[in-house]
Amino acid sequence: MPVPEMIPIDRASIGHLVAKARLSKRGRLNLNFHPHDSDPLQRLLNAIEPGSYIQPHKHQDPDKTEAFIILQGRLAVVVFDDAGQITGHIILDPSDGTFGVEIPPRTWHMILALTTGTVVYEVKNGPYNPADDKKFAEWAPAETDTRTAEFLEKIYGDLNINPHNFNIH
């Protein structure tokens, strides 16, 4: 019986992805493991650099659960209520023993890299359809909006995180 091909997640693949994310305009890059957008389980590495802005969003209609498992670096996962007020957050940091989090459907959330070279393994229900995968928060600026830096500064302040202490190369 043939053995399915395994996909390693190792230092070399993570290092290559981090290097490319650092050079990308958005400061982040995915490496998808699912073979097609239609796959019922989306699996990917997400390399994110500090300052990369991911607009708060939720997964509903269709409802999707999303999980993040930290492989290296530090990541803040922030959840909000419908008015855009922070209702909770968790810092994923393997050195502190906080390895992952699962976000239920219909929960406003965003992620923020707190150190350079941050990489998470992300898992989410599929299929992926860009038209309905995410519902973006109207109370937060879009990724290309000039107010994103101001919004990020507010989030950092609300979380008592000093972005000037980020380990950035």
pLDDT tens-digit profile of 109-165? 999 999 999 999 999 999 999 899 999 999 999 999 999 999 999 999 999 998 877
> 71 pLDDT band (50/70/90 cuts)?
very high
Strand partners, 88: 79
Q: Which residue in the block uniquely carries the two structure tokens 């530090």? A: 74
Share of the chain above pLDDT 90, in %: 89
Residue 84 belongs to some domain of the structure: yes
Residue 148 belongs to some domain of the structure: yes
**The pair of three-digit structure tokens given for residue 141, joined into one six-digit string:** 């600026």
Closest of 164, 140, 165, 161 to residue 150, by C-alpha: 140
DSSP symbols for the chain: -PPPPP----HHHHHHHHHHHHHSTTSEEEEE-SSSTT-SEEEEEEEE-TT-----EE-TTTT--EEEEEEES-EEEEEE-TTS-EEEEEEEBGGGTB-EEEE-TT-EEEEEE-BTTEEEEEEEES---TTTS-EE-TTS--TT-TTHHHHHHHHHHHTT--GGGSB--
Question: Is residue 166's pLDDT more than 80?
Answer: no
Mean pLDDT throughout 20-46?
95
pLDDT at 23: 96
Residue 12 belongs to some domain of the structure: no
Residue 40 belongs to some domain of the structure: yes
> 45 pLDDT band (50/70/90 cuts)?
very high
Residue 165 belongs to some domain of the structure: no
pLDDT at 102: 98
pLDDT at 3: 65
Burial 77-97 (b: 16+ CB within 10 A, else e): bbbbeeeeebeebebbbeeee
pLDDT at 169: 44
pLDDT at 167: 59
Residue 60 belongs to some domain of the structure: yes
CATH number of 131's domain? 2.60.120.10
Residue 10 belongs to some domain of the structure: no
Query: How many domains are contained in the chain?
Result: 1
Q: CA 52, CA 48: separation in Å to the nearest integer?
A: 7
Of residues 100 and 165, the one with the higher pLDDT is 100
Residue 45 belongs to some domain of the structure: yes
Q: CA 125, CA 24: separation in Å to the nearest integer?
A: 26
pLDDT at 109: 98
pLDDT at 33: 93
Mean pLDDT throughout 71-95?
97
Q: Which domain holds residue 77?
A: 26-159
